[in-house]
Structure 1
Amino acid sequence: MNTKNQTPILQHLVDITGHRDQSRLELSVVSALRQLMDIRRIRKLEFSTHQGETSVRPVLLLDGGLVLAESEHPGPEHGEPLSGYPELLECIEQETKSTQRIAADGGVTLWLPVRLDKKVVSCIEITNDKAYSAQTVEVIHGIIEVYRNYQSLLDYSERDALTGLFNRKTFDEQFSRAARSSAPPGERRGVDTQWLAVVDIDHFKLVNDRFGHVYGDEVLILVANLLRSSFRANDRIFRFGGEEFVVLLRSAELERARSIFSRFRKNIEAYEFPQVGRVTVSVGFTGTSQGAPVEILGHADQALYYAKEHGRNQVCFYEELMSSGALQVADAHMDVELF
């Protein structure tokens, strides 16, 4: 790497801190690393914990010099055990800045954990055909440190403080982006269809009343963890406040989407929450290919309302309810109650 001219590095740092969107921030970091040094592959490793076991879901960001949008190469749906990354696990436990593995052929994999409030939330994995010099590793550390610090600032404004999920403030922009990538109106829903689901914890007020808000908050945190482990790395999960969550499910056919939402509902039903015991959720979902964002969100909410009014602990599809006559088109002058 040529270190004589520092202008490219400074320009990349300007680009990195010029975004207020998480995915664009990551791609700016990847572009900087690709242009400043020889890198074969970069992945972001996302962590989720379920019943005490931590899993890793890789999201491919750069492959063979081509910078990729994160939705193009989602990680495995259920993730891989963190124990399969022994060097990274040791790095996290010892709270070091980075670690690497050098293969017999001279290739190297470098892991750089991303910590927020001393908690590792993700990791940047860099793979190359040959080992880096100490000077190059130092430059990589500097770029990742800028990324860590700026991501921390973004997360304070974009994420829910209790669960770590995206908050409602970030929903509009991310939902608009997902809606723009959906199939045009009138086109048959296929593999590229996007879905929006509203999730509500059943009888959550009773949990708070009976066990107190400390256990109620723990239920919310554990439900958030189950949401992370039940959906793919390229899906988006939001906490709207209270016991309500919203999921943007990307690139799935109808029956696949229904199966994913149903699996999540079953995961919640089967989970033993400390002190509280069993908890259930109701889910209403709809396609995002037609209608304004407020209409689409309203449709998912109507399906949720139907689920809660007809037994709870179930998944309801808005278009199916409409075609069967179970739901009627709402009067434009009627008040709409949103959960």
Structure 2
Amino acid sequence: MNALVQSLAAMSGLRDRDALDAALVRLVIDSSEGAVRSATLIRVVGEGDDRRCLLQAHLEAGQTQVSRDLLWTDWTTLPHVSDFPLRQLAVERARAVHSDAAPHAAVVPLLTSQGTWGLLDLGAAHALTTHTLDLVEGILLTYNNLLGLLDYGEKDALTELLNRKTFDGAFFKATAEQHGDELPEGGERRHADPDAGVWLAVLDIDHFKRVNDTYGHLIGDEVLLLLARLMRSSFRFHDQLYRFGGEEFVVLMRCDSVGHAQTALERLRERVQAYVFPQVGTITVSIGFSVLLPHDTPSGAFGRADKAVYHAKEHGRNQVCSYQALVASGELVDQVAEGMDVDLF
């Protein structure tokens, strides 16, 4: 079997996005017959003049180590797309661009209906031929299709937030990065912040059953969809947003302190309360959150945040409650100290 076909077949079997990104840059270099000397996969984050480059995967020809930025990279440390003229040009034109003068390079955009979400930046010793660029674009088309299949399996059909079945893997990756247990493939970590923590928040819509009973499930679905949009606009690009089912949502986010986590969640709560939902009017949410602990489990962290949500609902709703603060005040008993654990369902 042709080596390129074998590599594409192997890539199509990957279900981890980091592994898929690493496989992409390897395949681009290996299939170029020495023409491509480096391959850099960039995720474009931000909008307008504040578009920035998040490193998804970088590989030099002849090397085995693939480097990447950590998921929780500080936004302010990322370089602007405009710092790289060829990348900026590829975003503006929404098509592949290349430089014939040394240093030789080409940048191929990855596109969706909303615009450019990523860039593949290629370094070369000589100007890349049309054949090589066509080959790279074909590989990228396959890669984009594979990402689409992953999205289909990992996202909630209604809200397009992440779904429940993707949570455990993301949780363990987040805890590994938080406590320094995981390195990117090849061992190189970039932009790590040892002082930050990862927080899990559970969000529940107050009196959502009343919405469904009064206005019907179509209006209820519209409320869920609009809430998901409010969540996206309230959190950062690397915060992970989930719909667990019904009116229950989960957020995984990295913050510098409990105060910053509380502020982010209060901002969402206030935006939801201020938003006028069509036909329904005002909707409120109750939120509970907990910091992730060393050797934590998905069910353990979820259980702590869920206890805080229950406390919020029992004490007036439309509020944000920290599990650790409730334990410190004596309003809750620490389930970790009690040796308790819960199942998500």
Q: TM-score range by the shorter chain?
A: 0.7 to 0.9
Deviation of 1:40 after TM superposition, in Å, equals 5.9
Query: Match of 2:330, as an amino acid?
Result: G
CA distance in 1, matches of 2:200, 2:2: 45
TM-score by length of 1: 0.75
CA distance, structure 2, for counterparts of residue 236 and residue 57 of structure 1 = 19
SS of aligned partner of 1:28? helix
Report what 2:22 is aligned to. Answer: 27
Moved more, 104-113 or 291-300: 104-113
Give the Å deviation of 1:327.
1.0
Which whole-Å CA distance do the structure 2 matches of 1:103 and 1:262 have between them?
A: 52
**Is the 8 Å Cα contact of residues 192 and 252 (structure 1) preserved in structure 2?**
yes
Structure 1 CA distance, aligned partners of 2:200 and 2:44?
25
Task: State which of 283, 306, 309 in structure 1 corresponds to 2:311.
Answer: 306
Aligned equivalent of 1:230: 234
Structure 1 residue 86 displacement after superposition: 9.1
After TM superposition, the structure 1 stretch with the greater mean CA deviation from structure 2, 173-182 or 307-316, is 173-182
The answer for the alignment partner of 2:152 in structure 1 is 156
Unaligned runs of 5+ in 1: 92-97
Letter in 2 for 1:160: D
- Give, in angstroms, the shift of residue 89 of structure 1: 7.4
Give the deviation of 1:298 after TM superposition.
Answer: 0.4
Q: Residues 115-164 of structure 1: CA distance to partner in whole angstroms, max 9, x if unpaired?
A: 5xxx5597321235687432222112211221122223222322211111
3-state DSSP of counterpart to 1:181: helix
Name the CA distance, whole Å, in 1 between partners of 2:133 and 2:233.
32
Tell me by how many angstroms 1:283 deviates: 1.2
Residues 74, 233 of structure 1: 8 Å contact kept: no
Structure 2 unaligned blocks of 5 or more: 81-87, 181-192
1:272 and 2:273 aligned: no
1:123 to 104, 109, 117: 117
Whole-Å separation in 2 of the counterparts to 1:269 and 1:143: 46
Q: CA-to-partner distance for each residue in 1:173-205, whole Å, 9 max, x for gaps?
A: 211222233349xxxx96232111111122222
After superposition, the Cα gap between the structure-2 partners of 1:110 and 1:292, relative to the gap in structure 1 and judged at 3 Å, is closer
1:297-335 CA-to-partner distances (Å, cap 9, x unmatched) read 100100111112222222111011001001124698999
SS of 2:169's equivalent in the other structure is: helix
Matched AA of 1:71: L
The structural deviation recorded for 1:24 is 2.5
Backbone CA RMSD of aligned residues: 4.0
Paired position in structure 1 for 2:110: 112
Q: Identify which of 325, 333, 336 aligns with 2:330.
A: 325
Between 1:13-22 and 1:300-309, the stretch displaced more is 13-22
Task: Assess if the C-alpha contact under 8 Å between 1:46 and 1:121 holds in 2.
Answer: no
**Which secondary structure does the structure 2 equivalent of 1:194 belong to?**
strand
What SS is found at the alignment partner of 2:197?
coil
Q: 1:17 aligns with which of 9, 12, 15?
A: 12
Deviation larger for 120-129 or 144-153: 120-129
Work out whether 1:295 is the aligned partner of 2:304.
no
Q: What is the rounded CA distance, in whole Å, between the counterparts of 1:337 and 1:312 in structure 2?
A: 24
- CA deviation digits over 1:21-74, x for unaligned, max 9? 2332233223333555244643123689xxxx9x96753224584743452574
How far does residue 238 in structure 1 lie from its aligned partner after superposition? 1.3
CA distance, structure 2, for counterparts of residue 103 and residue 226 of structure 1 = 45
Against the structure 1 CA distance between its residues 73 and 199, is the aligned structure 2 distance closer, same or farther, given a 3 Å change threshold? closer
CA distance in 2, matches of 1:75, 1:335: 32
Residue aligning to 1:135 = 131
The residue number in structure 2 matching 1:240 is: 244
Is residue 42–residue 62 contact of structure 1 (8 Å, CA) maintained in 2? Answer: yes
Which residue pairs with 1:95 in the alignment?
none
Structure 2 residue identity aligned to 1:68: S
Percent of aligned pairs with the same residue? 38
Q: Which residue of structure 1 lines up, in the alignment, with residue 172 of structure 2?
A: 176
Deviation at 1:249, TM superposition (A): 1.1
Q: Is the contact made by 2:45 and 2:54 (CA closer than 8 Å) also made in structure 1? A: yes
Partner of 2:54: 59
Cα separation, 1, equivalents of 2:157 and 2:218: 15
Distance change >3 Å, CA 209–CA 27, structure 1 → 2:
farther
Q: What is the CA–CA distance in structure 1 between the aligned matches of 2:254 and 2:339, rounded to whole Å?
A: 33
Q: How does 1:193-204 map to 2 (within 5 A)?
A: 193-204=197-208
| TM-score (structure 2 length as normaliser) | 0.74
Q: Secondary structure at the match of 2:156?
A: coil
- The 8 Å contact of residues 41 and 64 in structure 1, kept in 2 or not, is answered as yes
Aligned counterparts of 1:199 and 1:193: Cα–Cα separation in 2: 19
Note closer, same or farther for the CA distance 1:129–1:314 as it changes in structure 2 (3 Å cut). Answer: same
Secondary structure class of the residue paired with 2:70 = helix
